[in-house]
Structure 1
Amino acid sequence: MQNRTIHHLSHIDLDGYSCQLIMRYTPYTKYNYNANYGAEVKAKLEEILEKIQKSNESTMILISDLNLTAEESKWLDNEVKKLNENKKDITLQLLDHHGSGEECAKKYGWYFLDTARCATKIVYDFTKENFDFDAPTWMEKFVNIVNAVDLWKQDEKDNFEYGKVCMRLITETRELNRVMFAKEDTEYKLALLHEAVKYIDEENAPIILDEKIHLLKKDFFKDQHDDTLDNLATEFIVNLLGESKTQKTIYYKGYKGYLSYGVGNTSIIGNGFLVKFPEYDFIIDISFRGTMSLRANNKVSVAQIAKEWVGGGGHPNAAGGRILGFKEQFRYDKVKEQIESIIHKKESIAGDLEYKKG
């Protein structure tokens, strides 16, 4: 394969992330995206297309462990054709094993379907045949492990049992938010899988991995000191929030705020952020359902902000509310657009905020 940039969209389970683990051993520039079924798939594809439009590189869109609907397939096929007609150089390839994509597979040459193999095994075989590929010695065995558990082959006992632990390793890895920290969340999961393969050949391998999961997570978040997993993850997240201050700062009536989306645990993370970055007057986290959680540190009454924005309330340093009509988003910029629209409407009609001196 010629030197292309690969935009790789995959599912959010063990099979999906394992496809991306395989692609780490190819030499191409790669960008990973992950989506669950529903509106998130198209949202991620739109994000990929937007990035391609801004680039002049030869590009492959690789989709794994996700079956597209007929409508999504038609839309994507048309979008790629339009871009190629506009002198872009885009190759499209989908590798999947879900039988519900059969009609699309018959219609589009780029839609490859094989229900006898999990997506990880399909990607592995495809990569060996089509890409420059430096596969490590453990990879084939790991692929068979994922295949056994994803297709629920209980007769392959050793592979199946180890795959079950790997599956839990992914499903219970929720420390990072997939929207706010998409890149870091994917890297976190891939790093854990990369550590998990080290125990494949151990006696009682499933038990060993099961007992090490907590330590593997802590090792990812550790810097120079040890602490509880919660504290290590909180410090890591606060640092990530700080690294993207420019894009995530909002202002309301002269007060400087930070807008996060779906991070949760606002009492700990929010207060930790305000202590580390005292130039901020408040922080607000929006949940996927539109619930607002606000925190301050004696600089402004967030109860007043919550009241003015959505009729919410609470205490001067801790308040909340709910945004009526909020639309769940899979991209941070879309969330910020909704919040800035509220701010624009409210700033012209709300009264002065109560200022709390420290």
Structure 2
Amino acid sequence: MRVYHLSHIDLDGYGCQFITNRYFEDKKYFNANYGKEVIEKLNSIIHLIENSEIVDNFILITDLNLTFEESRYLDLEVKRLNELDFNIKLQLLDHHKSGIDSAGKFDWYYLDNSRSATKITFDYFKTNYSDVFIDDIEKLIDSINAVDIWLENDSNFEFGKVCMRLIMDTNEINRFNFLNEHRDYKFFALNKAIEYLNIENGHILLDDNILKIKKEYLKKDIYDTLDILSSEFVSNLLIKNKDVMTIRYKDRVGLFTYSFGSISVVANRFLKKASEFDFFMDLNTKGAFSLRANGKIDVSLLAKELAGGGGHANASGGKFGDFSESYSYQKAIEFVQQKLNDIS
């Protein structure tokens, strides 16, 4: 059986996936915030199942309350696939009251607003998949539960608060471009947090060591500042994945990232490492783009041609007025490559 697990992008959402990571070997993880991103990820899951030879599948959604329309759509799609001889189990575990209409209509939609999604997921798997031992993480689960539903008098509350910041701060690896590595980084941090659970003043010690935990994951064989470590780590990921991240403009070769944000340091490091590339381009979800170069191409002219943008020879930008907000890297790179083709 293959598991498709869609969850939210906060501590509670990643906490749910931290649990299922203990149970399943064959799994594909997805994360989404609310709005358009949810339906995009649901469509991706349906597409992957429909084009797979694996018959037995488990779609699990946690810490996301679907609208009634989203729930009905998903229910119909799963029924359609099951009629095509797939065997799909569908389960949603959530705690947001806004999902009450869906919970009342669909038997796969479980809602309990007295517990966090992580706690619900923990209890669900402990009850239904008792062959796997997860009691060693129960105190971490209780800490996540305490902070997520804000139980200030709970003994685990302060530890949960530190875990919340730990997950928020492990953001050096962009999830749109490197989803698996981004999540592995979160899982590494949560595993490290467990080491502080049974120590006196563990929440304070964990807070003291957040930077150390981040650097431990990113450093590999380097001892340096977090900025250097993270840019080195990410530039190596870019080099590893450069074949599927390449864009072309005439005889020039560029690398494309989506929603990286500030790119100056990592772009400069990448262009120095990968001398076959002439420019680096990042696009955000609103259509704004940044371009960087290292003397091989005047990106201010490229920005002007693309969208009336401009700037400096090695650092420029602009905005596409016709870009439709998307949470798919593939859709974004296809859009940009078409724009480059149009001016080539």
TM range (shorter): over 0.9
Could you tell me how far 1:133 is from its partner in structure 2? Answer: 4.5
Provide the aligned length of Structure 1 versus Structure 2: 343
| Aligned equivalent of 2:144 | 146
Q: Given the superposition, is the C-alpha separation of residues 299 and 124 from structure 1 closer, same or farther in structure 2, using an over 3 Å criterion?
A: same
**Which one of 107, 110, 113 corresponds to residue 112 of structure 1?**
110
Could you tell me how far 1:249 is from its partner in structure 2? Answer: 0.8
Could you tell me how far 1:136 is from its partner in structure 2? Answer: 4.3
Q: Does 1:312 align with 2:309?
A: yes
Is contact 2:126–2:134 with CA below 8 Å preserved after alignment? no
Could you tell me how far 1:333 is from its partner in structure 2? Answer: 0.6
Deviates more, 1:123-132 or 1:39-48: 123-132
Give the whole-Å Cα distance in 2 for the aligned partners of 1:136 and 1:114.
21
Q: Does 1:169 align with 2:156?
A: no
| Aligned equivalent of 2:268 | 271
TM-score by length of 1: 0.93
Give the whole-Å Cα distance in 2 for the aligned partners of 1:224 and 1:243.
17
Is there any run of 5+ residues in structure 1 with no aligned partner, and where?
348-358
Q: Secondary structure at the match of 1:250?
A: strand
Deviates more, 1:132-141 or 1:174-183: 132-141
Q: Given the superposition, is the C-alpha separation of residues 85 and 136 from structure 1 closer, same or farther in structure 2, using an over 3 Å criterion?
A: closer
Give the whole-Å Cα distance in 1 for the aligned partners of 2:296 and 2:265.
18
Could you tell me how far 1:74 is from its partner in structure 2? Answer: 0.6
Give the partner amino acid of 2:46: L
**Which one of 11, 16, 20 corresponds to residue 19 of structure 1?**
16
| Aligned equivalent of 2:280 | 283
Aligned 1:168-317 pairs, distance under 5 A: 168-317=165-314
Deviates more, 1:329-338 or 1:124-133: 124-133
Q: CA RMSD in A?
A: 1.3
Q: Secondary structure at the match of 1:138?
A: helix
Give the whole-Å Cα distance in 1 for the aligned partners of 2:30 and 2:94.
16
Q: Deviations over 1:77-97 (max 9, x none)?
A: 111111111111211100111
Q: Deviations over 1:112-152 (max 9, x none)?
A: 11111111111111111222543344311111111111111
Q: Percent identity?
A: 46
Aligned 1:28-177 pairs, distance under 5 A: 28-57=25-54, 58-131=56-129, 133-156=131-154, 158-177=155-174
Give the whole-Å Cα distance in 1 for the aligned partners of 2:84 and 2:307.
45
Give the whole-Å Cα distance in 2 for the aligned partners of 1:285 and 1:85.
42
Is contact 1:120–1:146 with CA below 8 Å preserved after alignment? yes
Give the whole-Å Cα distance in 2 for the aligned partners of 1:296 and 1:149.
44
TM-score by length of 2: 0.97
